[in-house]
Amino acid sequence: MVSIDTSSHNFLPDFYTLEISYVSVALAVLGFYLVTIGQLSYLLKARLLMSSALIALCLGIAVGPIGLDWISPWQWTDFDEEARHNLSFQIFRIVIGIQVMFAGIDLPAAYVRREWRSLAMLLLPIMTIGWFVSAGFILLFVKGITFLEALAISACITPTDPILANAIVKGRYAEKHVPKAVRDIISAESGANDGLGYPFLYIAITLMQSTTHGRSINESLQHWIVTTWLYQIFLSVAIGIVIGFLAAKTLKFAHARQLVDHESFLAYGVGLAFFTLGVVGVLGSDDVLACFVAGNSLTWNDFYRVEKHEHDDTFQDVIDGLLDTATFIYIGALLPWSEFSTEHLVPWRLVLFAICILLFRRMPAMMTLHRFIPALDGTKEAVFAGWFGPIGVSALYYAILALDQLPEDREVLRQVIFPVVIFMAMSSTIVHGITIPLAKAPLAIARTKSSFSAKNDGEAPSWWRRRAGTSAEGTPQAGTPAPASQAVSRRASSDGTTEYAEADRQYKGTPRMATAPEAVAASIADAARSAAHGHGHGHLHGHVHGHNHAQDDSSGSTETGSGSGEGAKQEGGKDRRVTYALPDEPPQGF
């Protein structure tokens, strides 16, 4: 029998002395989720009504310190609280920066200018009301803190989370069940208010620092205006606009000359997010807000967004999924369970606090003011937008930022701010993760009801009547301009481009085939131009057929209006009638 001396030959590893790498364990857990849970993703999401963030959070809890103890941020940082907070802050900062960049990129052309009234209502009165309401509940359920300290905690949970908002606005299920206008306004709000959480947080911190720095109230307010509004907000917006504008110009130049390859084009948004985070972070300004502004500036004329969708519409969704999964596994492992039951925090009080915040933080204000939000059509959409204001990663980002800025003498606040905020993030992830699929179907039914009736009765779709000021039969209502000409003027003024020039845009030297919405929009524009030039006195009548019949069969034909609601094309001395079909959903920009 041959014996092997392993002391002098390293044939067999010494298993009992192996050191398990934390990185290897984390990779194994993440890979297990993507491979194993991914195979059951449809069952879990569509049948069991669980969001991916909720599944990842549950997995993080299972493998965290309270469960298998495979992933422990405490062990990663040698139980150094400051190092753990710094690690978490940088993770959340990068993830939020990429997500708000994607949110800005996905918005339609000139969306912020077109929907500025809706955004102003969401970011100013509704956000402010939610801030004070949350502070009131914090005073009620958290022991031993002042109103100013409650405002600091409330500022962390006031912004909506862009990562959890992705489950509402993205994916085939969302595209099928949630109206485009609702998805766009939720995405825009979640991207913008993440950066605009700074003024709410820093007004409380600045006032708390006034005694430490020997400043009066007036001096503290002046300091808040200069450092927060001018340096943090306005400077970051200006930098974001410049970065996005220059990025769009250079990318369009490179794309027109075929200098950029397919993969680099798709990854451009991620690279721009890293660049913006780095540059604005070095300057000490609001890098998260700058990322959202840069993303929206990049696609202000819709070039990058449209081209990206034509190249590959799944790349960004894959990145979103990876970031969401990894982040919520980390949050599940980061939950400080022992800190939920202390002298100042009581578990049952935290549960009641979470219920009150989810019910009253946004809903009453949204229901009261939704009539002043043009992007929301009716009470049901207001309820949907009011309920789905999730609290997640951005809240933890602000909580850690607050811990770095709070005076040392605010001991109670420093003890409770992170446990309260992460408990709210966990509660929101669970509740919203379950209710997202439940709430989508009724909203979709409500939206499609009018268009179904229009199909049966030959009426114009509801979006046409609502946006163009027409009656159910498609005729202009009293005191309103002609619907087609109004719609075209709205489009021309909103994105600053010539009418539907996007359909004629060149792609790699050859004309790009117009998409279905563009073809319908072009037909409507043709009819509007005819009516505007006085060629006809009739109205544009919308026969909803589900597809567009207005396609040119030959070149060189001219079009005039008609009193019957059908366009008349003169071809070889003969009039050829063309029916202009209106789709169930509005063309982009209407």
Bridge-partner residues for 510, per DSSP? Answer: 507
Instruction: Tell whether 514 and 391 lie within a shared domain.
Output: no
Q: Does one domain contain both 249 and 288?
A: yes
Beta strands in 411-566 (DSSP E): 506-507, 510-511, 558-560
Q: Which of 450, 482, 505 is the last residue of a domain?
A: 450
Rg (CA), the chain: 27
Asked if 419 and 552 sit in the same domain, the reply is: no
- Domain membership flag for residue 269: yes
Domain interval for residue 252: 22-450
Verify that 431 and 488 share a domain, yes or no.
no
Asked, for residue 16, whether it belongs to a domain, the answer is: no
Q: Count up the domains in the chain and report the number.
A: 2
When pLDDT is averaged across residues 503-531 and rounded to a whole number, the result is: 43
* Residues comprising the chain, all counted: 590
In a domain, residue 275? The reply is yes
3-state secondary structure of 476: strand
What are the pLDDT digits (tens) for 262-310? 888 888 999 999 999 999 999 999 999 999 999 999 999 888 888 877 7
Residues 6+ apart with CB under 8 A from 223: 206, 215
- Residue 63: which CATH number? 1.20.1530.20
Q: Domain check: are 437 and 471 in the same one?
A: no
Question: Of 537 and 162, which is predicted with more confidence?
Answer: 162
Q: Say if residues 121 and 362 touch (Cβ distance below 8 Å).
A: no
In a domain, 6, yes or no: no
Has residue 384 got a pLDDT over 60?
yes
3-class secondary structure, 511: strand
Other C-beta atoms within 10 Å of 547: how many? 11
Which among 311, 588, 584 has a CA at the least distance from the CA of 461?
Answer: 584
Are both 275 and 397 inside the same structural domain?
yes
390 and 502 part of one domain: no
Q: Determine which of 224-228, 359-363, 516-520, 550-554 has the lowest per-residue pLDDT on average.
A: 550-554
Domain boundary among 417, 450, 483: 450
Please check whether residue 14 lies inside any domain of the structure: no
Residue 2 lies in a domain: no
Cα separation of the two ends of the chain: 85
Q: Is the pTM of this model over 0.85?
A: no
As a whole number of angstroms, the distance between CA 392 and CA 56 comes to 13
> Do 422 and 569 reside in the same domain of the chain?
no
SS3 readout for 559-586: EECCCCCCEEEEECCEEEEECCCCCCCC
Whether 445 and 494 share a structural domain: no
d(CA 360, CA 71): 35
In this prediction, residue 499 has a pLDDT band, given cuts at 50, 70 and 90, of very low
Lowest mean pLDDT: which of 442-456, 527-541, 559-573? 559-573
Instruction: Give pLDDT tens digits for 125-149.
Output: 999 999 999 999 999 999 999 999 9
User: Is there a domain that residue 11 lies in?
Assistant: no
At residue 20, the pLDDT reads 67
Assess whether 92 and 213 both reside in one domain: yes
Q: Are residues 426 and 503 in the same domain?
A: no
Pairing label, strands 558-560, 510-511? unpaired
DSSP state of 64: S
- Residues 192, 228, single domain; the answer is yes
Q: What is the 3-state secondary structure (H, E, C) of 203-230?
A: HHHHHHHHHHHCCCHHHHHHHHHHHHHH
The rounded distance, in Å, linking the Cα atoms of 57 and 433 is 10
In a domain, 397, yes or no: yes
Greatest mean pLDDT range, 69-83, 213-227, 415-429: 415-429
396 close to 331: Cβ distance less than 8 angstroms: yes
Lowest mean pLDDT among 285-289, 346-350, 434-438: 434-438
Q: Quote the CA–CA distance of 103 and 190 in Å, as a whole number.
A: 8
